[in-house]
Amino acid sequence: MADDILFNRLVRYHIERNLPLYIGSIEEGVSSLIDMDEDIGYDYNAHPRSKRLLLVTNGDTLVEKLRKDQVMTDSKDPVFTDVPDYDGFAAFFDKTKGDGSYVYHKRAQRVGRVRELNTNPPGLVENLDNLIAMLPEDFVAYDGSVPTEEVGNKTRLAFKIPYAHPEFETYQIKGTVHSPLGLGIVTHFTKESMEMFYFEHDPMHTGDFVDPEKKIVGVYRRYQREGDNLVLKEMKTVNLDAKQNLVYKPLESNPGYKVA
């Protein structure tokens, strides 16, 4: 299961804040808010009130290194807010609007918004084709219909930063429509690993549902880098218990996926 506190906070936030924006539009696993022929794998019709974000974390010299690499171009340092628990974390992002970028100090549990972010900075490695090729074929779109080369600029940046600075990690709640449900995925990248969370419509599922009425399951995957490949190491369902804590359970059926 995921033991990263920040990743778990983002998954819970995605379930609590973003999923309800789409629930009323979903019938038989398809949201009426999206165009099935045009939107899967892209963010043209992401819900305007959905929370989409990129977080860069770790290191006391985080801001300085992002400036040196010309990733962060703000003239002023971010204003940091303490977010010692989930409630504070959620309250902070509830106040933000749009597709935001942030720096986060894990040790101090402080977050600050970055106003200007260069998604193609000259200070970082340029050739990421081999890294992009590592992504699961259904990373961009649930059915693999959109190639991984189509990942957006912010996701490319999320790859570049840990590759250039292994002490840094990046997290996203993506707005790119991953499946007919209309929602994006949650990601966590390090230089050597990747975690992802997404929603799936599965009427045949025999375990817990994130939304029982709509038959929506939360799915977690963990990948580890081995040479030039990302190898699937773990796959579980994710749900919220009565106290709103995340619960990870083995996935009973796992068609099409081989866990190493």
Digit-coded pLDDT (tens) for 237-259: 999 998 999 999 987 655 556 66
Residue 257 falls within a domain, yes or no? no
Q: Which domain holds residue 49?
A: 5-201
Number of domains within the chain? 1
Instruction: Look at residue 108 and tell me if it is in a domain.
Output: yes
What's the pLDDT at 98?
A: 76
Is residue 221 a part of any domain in this protein?
A: no
**Which pLDDT does position 60 carry in this prediction?**
63
Residue 222 lies in a domain: no
pTM: 0.92
pLDDT at 227 over 90: no
Q: Say if residues 217 and 200 touch (Cβ distance below 8 Å).
A: yes
pLDDT score of 112 more than 70: yes
Residue 138 lies in a domain: yes
Structure tokens of 16?
Answer: 């609590």
**Residue 212: pLDDT over 60:** yes
pLDDT-based confidence at residue 197 (cuts at 50, 70, 90): very high
The kind and range of the H/E element at 226 are strand 216-226
140 DSSP 8-state letter:
S
